[in-house]
């Protein structure tokens, strides 16, 4: 029996690995998710013979599985595409919470002097799991706009957080060394929850994807630690896989934003303030050109080549279908249409791809930054829909700007630029965009979806 269980766990681990591998290539990604799910089913099935149910145990297991399945399915099915980041945060948080609870329950079994080899991973799992839970909940709240997305800061914050972390470490060491108060880990858990909140509060809403990825990796490690406590192979390997791949992914994600992880986690304050000041001081004195839907419709209809640059505003306005519609009517008139996808357009990497895919935009029209950047100079129109930072020429021209050096889309090289947004307000980075004042730029103010719909009619009429 034990042999079969061990082999089943091994098979599950292999399926998780294969699943991850497939998930990281566009062709196999969806299968990869199934493969990993199959691994999960096998691991759960193999666990059944290990269970010795009490009466209450059987009941709560069944009830728990049903409730969890309901919440999970409904939550995942109902969520709108734009709300996926916060959903992932939620699912990650509950995993961390579960890991912490499992570790607590396991520790309670050993009276006052549990063996060190059990206490150490348990304490780790409790602390990290709780931080992950609380942090994920704050990330969820920020993304769901239940609380402000701007960094919440106060003087001496970093010192307070540092003290908090130090207290936890001290407390953990005490638990490890003395371990005489059975409920000390409950206190540890509470402290860790506070730390989780405090850790995420000063990070801006737009950086949440990176934070979620980091907390995801943390949950993985907490799960692996629970595996050490329970001497369970499946938990150790699966948790470690997530911990390792999640850490790498976090780094890849902050790289894709052109920033270091440290900057994302701890640099929010200064940067945003500077941005805000810059906006306050500069701009607004100069005037911009704006135009009517009819004029722009004619311009578009008689172009040869149009490149659409989607951004966060398109996501917020749920304007992906309208964009697709505009592209369709333009193509019917023989205009060549492409989408220029900046890697960090929107609020998580891949955001634009997912949204435009949802609107059935053909794959070949989606162009990555490197592919498309040389094409702008041959484009008649660059149509910027709710994007801002990713086309800000300051990244190329203004040393000292917070986004200086970040690779951007060369929309400014197009013969005409149509800039669609609701106002002159800056984008996520909080800095002004010279492109709005460019000689070839025409502003078209309004909600992205409304504006695009107007353009569709205008093109049809042209």
Ligand X SMILES: NC(=O)c1ccc[n+]([C@@H]2O[C@H](COP(=O)([O-])OP(=O)(O)OC[C@H]3O[C@@H](n4cnc5c(N)ncnc54)[C@H](OP(=O)(O)O)[C@@H]3O)[C@@H](O)[C@H]2O)c1
Q: Is 14 in the site for another protein (CB under 8 A)?
A: yes
Alpha-carbon span 20 to 15, nearest angstrom: 8
- When the beta carbons of 287 and 370 are compared against another protein, the nearer one is 370
Task: Output the DSSP codes for 1-24.
Answer: -HHHHHHHHHHHHHHHHHHHHHHT
For residue 294, the minimal CB distance to ligand X (Å) is 20
Among 89, 308, 387, 417, binds ligand X (CB under 6 A): 387
Binding mask 322-341 for another protein (x = CB under 8 A): -------------------x
Residues β-bridged to residue 417: 382, 441
Q: Which residue is nearest to ligand X (CB)?
A: 427
- When the beta carbons of 184 and 263 are compared against ligand X, the nearer one is 263
Question: Residue 427 touches which of ligand X, another protein, none (CB < 5 to 8 A by kind)?
Answer: ligand X
Q: Which is the catalytic residue, given 389, 412, 447, 450? A: 389
Q: Is 316 in the site for another protein (CB under 8 A)?
A: no
Residue position matching structure tokens 């409304």: 450
Task: Output the DSSP codes for 386-403.
Answer: S--GGG-THHHH-TTSTT
- When the beta carbons of 85 and 243 are compared against ligand X, the nearer one is 85
- Backbone phi and psi for residue 442, each to the nearest 5 degrees, phi listed first: -120, 130
Q: According to CB under 6 A, which residues from 422 to 441 bind ligand X?
A: 422-423, 425, 427-429
Cα distances (Å, whole numbers) of residue 203 to 173, 266, 419, 431, 439: 29, 7, 29, 18, 36
- When the beta carbons of 237 and 257 are compared against ligand X, the nearer one is 257
Binding part of the chain for ligand X, among 72-80, 383-391, 393-401, 452-460 by CB under 6 A, reads 383-391
Active site residue 450: no
Residue position matching structure tokens 């697709």: 324
- When the beta carbons of 184 and 398 are compared against ligand X, the nearer one is 398
Q: Is 149 in the site for ligand X (CB under 6 A)?
A: no
Q: Is 268 in the site for ligand X (CB under 6 A)?
A: no
Q: Is 388 in the site for ligand X (CB under 6 A)?
A: yes
Q: Is 454 in the site for ligand X (CB under 6 A)?
A: no
Question: Residue 76 touches which of ligand X, another protein, none (CB < 5 to 8 A by kind)?
Answer: another protein
Alpha-carbon span 137 to 196, nearest angstrom: 9
Among 8, 82, 91, 406, binds another protein (CB under 8 A): 91
Q: Is 72 in the site for another protein (CB under 8 A)?
A: yes
Residues β-bridged to residue 381: 306, 416
Q: According to CB under 8 A, which residues from 102 to 161 bind another protein?
A: 102, 104-106, 108, 117
Q: Is 214 in the site for ligand X (CB under 6 A)?
A: no
Question: Residue 388 touches which of another protein, ligand X, none (CB < 5 to 8 A by kind)?
Answer: ligand X
- Do residues 335 and 383 make contact, with C-beta atoms less than 8 angstroms apart? no
The vertex-130 CA angle with 178 and 209, nearest 5°, equals: 145
For residue 186, the minimal CB distance to another protein (Å) is 10
Q: Is 341 in the site for ligand X (CB under 6 A)?
A: no
Task: Output the DSSP codes for 111-162.
Answer: -S---HHHHHHHHHHHHHHHHHHHHHHHHHHHHTTSS-SS----TTHHHHHH
Strands of the sheet with 441-445, listed across from one edge: 366-368, 336-341, 305-310, 381-385, 416-421, 441-445
Residue position matching structure tokens 């193999």: 46
- Do residues 385 and 311 make contact, with C-beta atoms less than 8 angstroms apart? yes
Tell me which residues touch ligand X (CB under 6 A). Answer: 206-207, 209, 257, 311-313, 316-317, 344-349, 351, 386-390, 421-423, 425, 427-429, 447-448
Catalytic site positions: 389
């Amino acid at each position: 029996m034990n042999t079969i269980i061990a082999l089943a766990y091994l098979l599950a681990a292999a399926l998780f690995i294969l699943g991850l591998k497939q998930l990281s290539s566009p062709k196999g990604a969806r299968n990869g998710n199934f493969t990993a799910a199959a691994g999960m089913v096998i691991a759960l099935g193999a666990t059944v013979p290990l269970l010795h149910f009490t009466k209450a145990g059987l009941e709560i297991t069944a009830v728990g599985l049903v409730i969890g399945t309901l919440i999970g399915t409904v939550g995942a099915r109902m969520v709108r595409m734009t709300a996926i980041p916060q959903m992932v945060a939620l699912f990650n948080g509950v995993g961390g919470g579960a890991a912490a609870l499992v570790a607590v329950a396991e520790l309670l079994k050993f009276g006052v002097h549990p063996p060190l080899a059990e206490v150490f991973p348990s304490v780790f799992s409790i602390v990290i799991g709780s931080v992950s839970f609380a942090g994920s909940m704050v990330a969820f709240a920020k993304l769901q706009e239940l609380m402000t997305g701007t960094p919440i800061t106060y003087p001496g914050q970093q010192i307070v957080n540092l003290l908090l972390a130090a207290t936890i470490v001290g407390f953990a060491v005490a638990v490890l060394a003395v371990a005489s108060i059975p409920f000390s880990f409950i206190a540890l858990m509470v402290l860790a929850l506070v730390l989780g909140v405090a850790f995420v509060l000063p990070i801006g809403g737009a950086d949440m994807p990176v934070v979620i990825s980091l907390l995801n990796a943390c949950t993985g490690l907490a799960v692996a630690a629970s595996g050490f406590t329970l001497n369970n192979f499946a938990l150790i390997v699966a948790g470690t896989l997530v911990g390792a791949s999640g850490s790498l992914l976090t780094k890849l994600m902050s790289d894709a934003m052109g920033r270091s992880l440290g900057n994302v986690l701890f640099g929010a304050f200064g940067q945003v303030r500077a941005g805000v000041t810059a906006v306050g001081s500069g701009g607004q004195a100069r005037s911009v050109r704006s135009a009517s839907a009819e004029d722009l419709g004619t311009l578009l209809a008689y172009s040869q080549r149009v490149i659409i640059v989607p951004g966060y505003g398109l996501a917020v306005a749920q304007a992906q279908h309208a964009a697709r519609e505009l592209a369709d009517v333009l193509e019917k008139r023989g205009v060549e249409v492409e989408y220029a996808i900046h890697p960090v357009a929107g609020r998580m990497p891949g955001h634009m791809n997912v949204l435009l895919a949802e609107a059935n935009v053909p794959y070949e029209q989606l162009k990555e930054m490197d592919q498309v950047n040389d094409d702008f100079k041959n484009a008649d129109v660059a149509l910027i829909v709710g994007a801002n930072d990713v086309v800000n020429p300051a990244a190329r021209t203004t040393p000292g700007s917070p986004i200086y050096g970040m690779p951007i889309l060369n929309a400014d090289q197009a013969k005409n630029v149509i800039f669609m947004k609701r106002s002159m307000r800056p984008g996520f980075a909080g800095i002004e965009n010279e492109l709005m004042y460019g000689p070839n730029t025409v502003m078209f103010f309004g909600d992205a979806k409304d504006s695009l719909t107007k353009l569709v009619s205008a093109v049809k009429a042209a």
